[in-house]
Chain A
Amino acid sequence: MIAGRGRQRIRPPRRGLHGDEVDFENTWGIIASAFREIHTKNASRLSYEELYRHAYRIVLKKKGEELYARVRQFEHEWLSNEVRGSVQALFSPNVLANTQSLGGTTANERRVAGEKFLKGLKQAWGDHQVCMSMLADVLMYMDRVYCQDNRRPSIYTAAMMLFRDDILKTPTSDAEGRVVLGLLTHVILDQIQMERDGDVIDKHLIKSCVYMLEGLHDDDKESEELRLYNVSFEREYLDTSREFYHQEAELLLRDSDAGAYCRHARRRIYEEEERCKSTLLESTSPRIQKVVEDELIKHRIHELVEMESGVRFMIDNERLDELNLIYDLNNRVDGNKSELTRAIQKRIVDMGTDANKAAIAASQSTAPAADAGGEKGKGPAPERNSNQQTVAAIKWVEDVLQLKDKFDKVWRESFNSDNLLQTALTRSFADFINSSAFPRSSEYISLFIDENMKKGIKGKTEMEIDNVLEKAIILLRYVQDKDLFERYYKKHLCRRLLMNKSISNEVEKQMISKMKIELGNNFTLKLEAMFKDMTISEELTSGFKHHVEGLGEKDPRRIELAINVLTSMTWPLETMGSSDDDGGKRPKCNFPIAIDRIRRGFEKYYNQKHSGRQLTWLANMGSADIKALFSKIPQKDGTFKERRHELNVSTYGMIILLLFNELPATQHLTFEEIQAQTNIPVNDLIRNLQSLAVAPKTRILLKEPMSKDVRPTDRFFFNEGFNAKFVKIKVGVVSSGNKVESDRERRETEKKNDDSRGFCIEAAVVRIMKQRKELAHQQLVMETLSQLAGQFKPEVNMIKKRIESLIEREYLERIEGVTIDSYRYLA
């Protein structure tokens, strides 16, 4: 199109259009009269094109500044002369009245007057906005060119500021010298207060006034934080709200219970949020929330939790909803929920301590009764006593579990499974379970398992069993002195295994594997070894049986041998039944010849398989099945009958009975004779004789004189007239079950435990020092503690002693001349 034209000339712009001087005054006159029309809402007849062209020319002629100033002046005059008057007409006495005192006018009157005032102001503001946007349209070129170049606020903004200065910041007519803005704030706050008191107010109206405040700024730079809304209104709003809620909280705490308080607080929070959405600005929401939370919760949570109907009441009465409310409220103001946590922990420890006390009380309550029972039965009394203790132990465990269930439920349903609270719960449980006032937790838990293994799980489904085991594990988790528990568990397990009291091997193994998961490999190593021993022993037994069968002729009187070979390190043999005063030098009892032969046979057989091992026979732990034939004696129905019984007796019992085998029926043996012939330890002998001669159902021997105690001078006869309903009879040996230990026993257990702890500590210290070569005392203690945390919590004193002893034995030495105590490892 152009290419062909060749040389072109540029033409200057047409003079006729924008070359000439503009008659400013005239043009402004046109514009000003048009503005007046706009303000009086007669704009529809005006020509945009014309007005724009005039403004454009003025700006193009570099008269932008003058135009800008004139427009401002025009607006200023308009606002002060026309609008201000109409706004001031709105100050009815009712509006003004409430600035002085609340009395004298009813709320309703005030509301109506306030609404009228707000409406009028909103109207004025709306009109101003519409007019100014029209003005801004016309003056678009000025805005874009003049204002931008000269960094002036756009004419629209400037006019908004004028509205602020000429309307909002003018004083009201009354003497107080309040400005309209303050009045406006007050009226809005008054309306909000009415809403809080339950009135219905015109939210839309307030919202539009709030929008006005939001759109205006206190300074001329339009900075965000200096919106009139923030500067004049919000601050006041927050202050009055704080005051209001402060009082309300006081009132409520006085008059209502904790649950109601929580519900109320929650409703207020929700209300304020709604109010920010519907009446005020969303940006206020977090701030007013904070005020409400501070006043209703943060400053009050302590009182709230401690109230009579507070947390404790709720827990005791299972008020899960209310607990949830409290949790929710506390969570709002405090991420750690420390108040609630504190209350809950306190309650747990209290309840746990109660359970502890109950257990101690239960275990001791029978003791005086037994004492009262007098001297006559020393045997049964402790037995009953320890039975009582076992019951107390189990009850304790169940109490604790119940407690645990209860708080778990609360935690789940009221505390939204909050992690922090879970750790708090765990800590509290650990606290009371390990409390120094109650040293028996390990034993009790082990007993609980023992009880369940022996009886509790009978006839239960796998699921239920699993549940029980799981509970035990949960408790175990809380226990700090795991080594003590291990000791007890080993002891109880040993009994169960040897006496075949365990209902299901499967369940035992399951338990072990659960512990393994919970406490690690080390813990269950020995327990597993015990099981291994049991299986190996079975194999040995059957192997020996084959061996014997292979030896040739079949002896009808052959004695069958079932044997358990126990590794001495793994099994807590010393705790088995017998007391240990004769521990190391345990005398060998004399077996009858038939038995002795088979014993030797087995020893030979065993030594063939494993050379270099020494077998020690623990007759006190075995049992024997004996077939006994009782001669004919007249029965109650007058018949004569030979009676065959199969007697299940302890090994000692068997030895004793066999003595009578060789004796004529009328002859007797004295206690001393028996003792001399069998070499059974006196204690065991007494107990066995008690069960054979004293227990009424299994009185296979007769004793002279007839009494409950066995004395060295007593004589024993075979009871020809023994009578029993069943063919199989089990002769129990007194006190062979797993019972709560007596105090003496416990002291022993603890002593042993301390000894083994000593070794553990030494091992740990050596391990650490071997690695670090040199270490300060404090650090060494710390590391030792952390290494052993999984097993038990050693006392620092004990560690010190162990270190001393290691130094004595020249594993370590003190480093000389160091300010901090330090040790060096000696290789």
Chain B
Amino acid sequence: MVVMKHEIEAALAQEAQAISSGTLKEDNPLDTSDNFRTFCEACRRGDQKVCQEMIFAGVNINARDRFDYTPLILASLCGHFDVIRLLLEHGALCERDTFQGERCLYNALNDRIRNLLLSYDYAKSTNPLQPLAAHITSLLSRPMPKTTDITITTYDETFHLHKFILAARSPYFAKKLAVAPTTASWKLPHNIPSASLSVALQYLYFAEVSLRSATYGLSDDEELVVLNGIEKISRQLEIERMFETVTEVSDRRLMRQQRTDELDRGRDQLDAWFRDNVLRNKAVVDTDKVENLQWDRENSIFADILLRADDADPCDLDQTDTAIKSSTPPVRNTLGPLNAIPVGPTKSRSPSRHRAPRKSTLYPAHRAMLLRSEYFLTMFSSSFREAQETSHLQIVKLDCSPVVLETILSFLYTEKADFGLDIAIDVLFAADQLFIEKLKQRAALIISSLGNGASPQVQFDNSRGETDAEETVDIYEVIRAAWDTRVQRLEEFGARYIAYRLEHYVDEPEFAELVQESAKRVTARQETDTVELVDDIRYYLSERFRLRFEDSGLDELMDETPRDISEIGDQDAEVHEADGYAHEADGYVPDIETQLAAGAIRTLDGEIAGDEFNQDAINYQILLGKIEDLLDNLKLDA
């Protein structure tokens, strides 16, 4: 359907009017803050790291700048696929049949981006909070495992509910339960029909309620009774906003905005409650005494399970590390002596010399929320010890540090997951163990966006393989984690990361080890007969250099070079045979730096190239050659 221009204009004018009169909230409000400007700038340049930081800092991802650009439009216009994906995953809207949405699609640099945008169309994707809301709603009707701790009865129906949700969502219940936390049942006055209560409860449990469905099939009189009941109950529970939320809105957009607002508000309530109760009530005790700790089932925050996470004792950690180093040849040891990258918590090394008793942290929690993890769902549904009712709360130990546990809890309760790189891998593993797929993806996202060290822009300039002075990522660790937890995205990230710094890694023995591991994985999976990691690296390597050439529009240069390169390659190979690379690697890296400092243009071999492009082309071939050699040495086919 083609809409005529004047119709579009009329629609836009109508929308503007609705916005100015306050009935409709603007989808893309003007934002002139510094943060937002930085954000937009990052989107233009394709700087994932800054984007991620800005998103964590809380800028409105759907705002627009002075020129009516939204970050998403900027990123898709400039063609930064990863940034676009990042934005979309964090709730940037691109909806067909809206002005900004169509603009975004129209401006997309290529089809790949356009398809990505379309795949996130609002009609298909959902509010990022929807999974949380859906889970809480499902609690209303979930018979197994039992998580409810209070019943509300009307004259003809009984509802099984969760105190902590009631307390979090309704100030009335919060007060009431604070006074008497052990209340196990509550009776509603007879004059409120159960239909009204049901609507109110659905509202409290984040369901999308509408009066129409609640009063469907009722006569006018009955409908009035129900409506009155809803009004009464909303006043009693002090959830006055409910009535207006429940009332039907015909406009799709308005409805969605309302829903988004409501979800945000509800999440904030949960979040506040979570921090005030769960986190505040965490207990730190000595590990050896943890078994003695007893929480009564009747507690003020209605927890029904205790989660325990043991502090990693710095001394222990250190010792085990060394122990491993000495005892076993490193299977996944990244602390090899050759490695210049410092890994591990170094800061606590000295102060922990004296032996402090190991600490454990206990978090009181609610099974109802933990069920979001499949691990807990299985645990509580099974007939093992954890699933049984005991007079004192069960303590379930989790295989992670308290910080990680806290992160997981806050994700389960509030869908919030903003944590730093420092614990990202831990979170990744923990999420994998507990089957929290979304958190896993989030961790992977954080690693790949923050871990990049610098923006791709910087990488382009980095085509000559200059390395950051400071590494932020132990890339071997990341790739292994990606394999262990089966996160494709992280594998790609790792391959790309290495490709862009290949000259730095290619000669390290750890790299060879990694390639070997990758090859083994392949044989185990019997999928392809190539080494996945190497393939990926080659791909990104070609991307890295091709970008360079395309940028300059000097493709023909490639036609000239092969001859030169093959010659150079021959020489190169000879040199390799003569010297072996370890030595060479040590040789040229500092060398090139000094050369660069001197302003001369040289290849990685240290020869002086004609110009930068020539140099790139030669470098590319050299790097490819090195990989080949590496594979030869490892006796791998690729």
A50 contacts across to B, CB distance below 8 A: 397
Q: Supply 11 A–B pairs (Cβ within 8 Å), ascending by A.
A: A9-B422, A10-B424, A10-B447, A10-B472, A12-B334, A14-B317, A16-B316, A21-B328, A43-B384, A134-B384, A140-B374
- Write the chain A residue with the least CB distance to B471: A9
Q: Is the CB of B324 within 8 A of A44?
A: no
Q: Is the CB of A9 within 8 A of B472?
A: yes
A 1-44 contacts with B by CB, 8 A = 1-3, 5, 7-21, 43-44
Q: Is the CB of A134 within 8 A of B320?
A: no
Measured between alpha carbons, how far is A50 from B320 in the docked complex, in Å?
A: 21
B386 contacts across to A, CB distance below 8 A: 47-49
Which of A52-60, A359-367, A466-474, A625-633 sits within the interface? Answer: A52-60
Which of B53-61, B192-200, B359-367, B574-582 sits within the interface? Answer: B53-61
Q: Is the CB of B385 within 8 A of A13?
A: no
A150 on the interface (CB 8 Å rule)? yes
5 nearest CB pairs, A to B: A48-B384, A3-B57, A3-B53, A8-B421, A10-B421
Which positions in A face B, CB cutoff 8 Å?
1-3, 5, 7-21, 43-53, 56, 60, 134, 137, 140-141, 144-145, 149-150
Q: Could you tell me the distance in whole angstroms from the C-beta of A494 to the nearest C-beta in chain B? A: 71
A-B contacts counted at CB < 8 A amount to 134
Partner of B425, one of A13, A20, A49: A13
B344 contacts across to A, CB distance below 8 A: 11-12
A47 contacts across to B, CB distance below 8 A: 384-386
Q: Is the CB of A49 within 8 A of B379?
A: yes
Measured between alpha carbons, how far is A3 from B418 in the docked complex, in Å?
A: 10
Q: Is the CB of B324 within 8 A of A10?
A: no
B332 contacts across to A, CB distance below 8 A: 19
Q: Is the CB of A11 within 8 A of B385?
A: no
Partner of A56, one of B374, B425, B433, B486: B433
- Write the chain B residue with the least CB distance to A11: B422
B343 on the interface (CB 8 Å rule)? yes
Which of B121-129, B263-271, B477-485, B630-638 sits within the interface? Answer: B477-485
Q: Is the CB of B312 within 8 A of A17?
A: yes
Measured between alpha carbons, how far is A12 from B470 in the docked complex, in Å?
A: 16
B 463-500 contacts with A by CB, 8 A = 470, 472-474, 477-478, 481, 484, 486
Measured between alpha carbons, how far is A9 from B334 in the docked complex, in Å?
A: 15
Q: Is the CB of B474 within 8 A of A60?
A: no
B406 contacts across to A, CB distance below 8 A: none
A21 contacts across to B, CB distance below 8 A: 324, 328, 331
- Write the chain A residue with the least CB distance to B472: A9
B525 on the interface (CB 8 Å rule)? yes
Summarize A's interface: helix, strand, loop or mixed: helix
Q: Is the CB of B383 within 8 A of A10?
A: no
Q: Is the CB of A2 within 8 A of B425?
A: no
B117 on the interface (CB 8 Å rule)? no
B613 contacts across to A, CB distance below 8 A: none
- Write the chain B residue with the least CB distance to A148: B486
B316-354 vs A, CB cutoff 8 Å, 1 = contact: the mask equals: 110011001000100110100000000111000000000
Q: Is the CB of A2 within 8 A of B418?
A: yes
B57 contacts across to A, CB distance below 8 A: 3
Q: Is the CB of B399 within 8 A of A18?
A: yes
Q: Is the CB of A15 within 8 A of B317?
A: yes
B374 contacts across to A, CB distance below 8 A: 140
A11 contacts across to B, CB distance below 8 A: 343-345, 421-423, 425-426
Which positions in B face A, CB cutoff 8 Å?
53-54, 56-57, 312-313, 316-317, 320-321, 324, 328, 331-332, 334, 343-345, 374-375, 378-379, 381-388, 396-401, 418-426, 429, 433, 435, 447, 450-451, 470, 472-474, 477-478, 481, 484, 486, 524-525
Q: Is the CB of A12 within 8 A of B486?
A: no
- Write the chain B residue with the least CB distance to A6: B53
Q: Could you tell me the distance in whole angstroms from the C-beta of B448 to the nearest C-beta in chain A? A: 11
Q: Could you tell me the distance in whole angstroms from the C-beta of B24 to the nearest C-beta in chain A? A: 31
Measured between alpha carbons, how far is A5 from B486 in the docked complex, in Å?
A: 29
Q: Is the CB of B426 within 8 A of A49?
A: no
- Write the chain B residue with the least CB distance to A56: B433
Measured between alpha carbons, how far is A144 from B317 in the docked complex, in Å?
A: 30
A8 contacts across to B, CB distance below 8 A: 420-422, 450, 472
A53 contacts across to B, CB distance below 8 A: 399
Q: Is the CB of B324 within 8 A of A15?
A: yes
- Write the chain A residue with the least CB distance to B475: A10
B387 contacts across to A, CB distance below 8 A: 48
B451 contacts across to A, CB distance below 8 A: 10
Q: Could you tell me the distance in whole angstroms from the C-beta of B52 to the nearest C-beta in chain A? A: 8
Measured between alpha carbons, how far is A145 from B426 in the docked complex, in Å?
A: 18
B426 contacts across to A, CB distance below 8 A: 11, 13-14
Most buried by B among A19, A49, A56: A49
- Write the chain A residue with the least CB distance to B426: A13
Q: Could you tell me the distance in whole angstroms from the C-beta of A57 to the nearest C-beta in chain B? A: 9
- Check A44/B420 contact, CB under 8 A, given A1-B56, A15-B317: no
B420 contacts across to A, CB distance below 8 A: 2, 5, 8
Q: Is the CB of B450 within 8 A of A44?
A: no
Q: Could you tell me the distance in whole angstroms from the C-beta of A499 to the nearest C-beta in chain B? A: 73
Q: Is the CB of A48 within 8 A of B379?
A: yes
- Write the chain B residue with the least CB distance to A49: B396
- Check A149/B384 contact, CB under 8 A, given A10-B451, A48-B379: no
Measured between alpha carbons, how far is A48 from B344 in the docked complex, in Å?
A: 31
Q: Could you tell me the distance in whole angstroms from the C-beta of B41 to the nearest C-beta in chain A? A: 15
Partner of A19, one of B320, B400, B418, B423: B320
Q: Could you tell me the distance in whole angstroms from the C-beta of B438 to the nearest C-beta in chain A? A: 16
B382 contacts across to A, CB distance below 8 A: 48, 134, 137
Measured between alpha carbons, how far is A471 from B435 in the docked complex, in Å?
A: 80
- Write the chain B residue with the least CB distance to A5: B420
Q: Could you tell me the distance in whole angstroms from the C-beta of A55 to the nearest C-beta in chain B? A: 11
Measured between alpha carbons, how far is A120 from B429 in the docked complex, in Å?
A: 45
Q: Is the CB of A16 within 8 A of B320?
A: yes
Most buried by B among A13, A48, A145: A13
- Write the chain A residue with the least CB distance to B433: A56
B316 contacts across to A, CB distance below 8 A: 16
Partner of A141, one of B312, B385, B433: B433
B343 contacts across to A, CB distance below 8 A: 11-12
Measured between alpha carbons, how far is A810 from B524 in the docked complex, in Å?
A: 93
Measured between alpha carbons, how far is A771 from B506 in the docked complex, in Å?
A: 90
Contacts A44-B384, A149-B524 known; 6 new A-B pairs at CB < 8 A = A1-B56, A3-B56, A47-B384, A50-B397, A53-B399, A134-B384
- Check A14/B401 contact, CB under 8 A, given A2-B56, A3-B53, A9-B472: yes
Partner of A60, one of B313, B385, B396, B484: B484
Q: Is the CB of A46 within 8 A of B384?
A: yes
B474 contacts across to A, CB distance below 8 A: 10, 12
Measured between alpha carbons, how far is A53 from B429 in the docked complex, in Å?
A: 13
Q: Could you tell me the distance in whole angstroms from the C-beta of B321 to the nearest C-beta in chain A? A: 5
Measured between alpha carbons, how far is A45 from B383 in the docked complex, in Å?
A: 9
Q: Could you tell me the distance in whole angstroms from the C-beta of A781 to the nearest C-beta in chain B? A: 59
Q: Could you tell me the distance in whole angstroms from the C-beta of B576 to the nearest C-beta in chain A? A: 32
- Check A140/B472 contact, CB under 8 A, given A5-B420, A11-B426: no
A137 contacts across to B, CB distance below 8 A: 378-379, 381-382, 384
Q: Could you tell me the distance in whole angstroms from the C-beta of A408 to the nearest C-beta in chain B? A: 46
Most buried by A among B399, B435, B451: B399
A16 contacts across to B, CB distance below 8 A: 312-313, 316-317, 320
Q: Could you tell me the distance in whole angstroms from the C-beta of A182 to the nearest C-beta in chain B? A: 35
- Check A10/B525 contact, CB under 8 A, given A2-B56, A2-B418: no
Q: Is the CB of A12 within 8 A of B317?
A: no
Q: Could you tell me the distance in whole angstroms from the C-beta of B508 to the nearest C-beta in chain A? A: 17
Q: Could you tell me the distance in whole angstroms from the C-beta of A128 to the nearest C-beta in chain B? A: 15
Q: Is the CB of A10 within 8 A of B379?
A: no
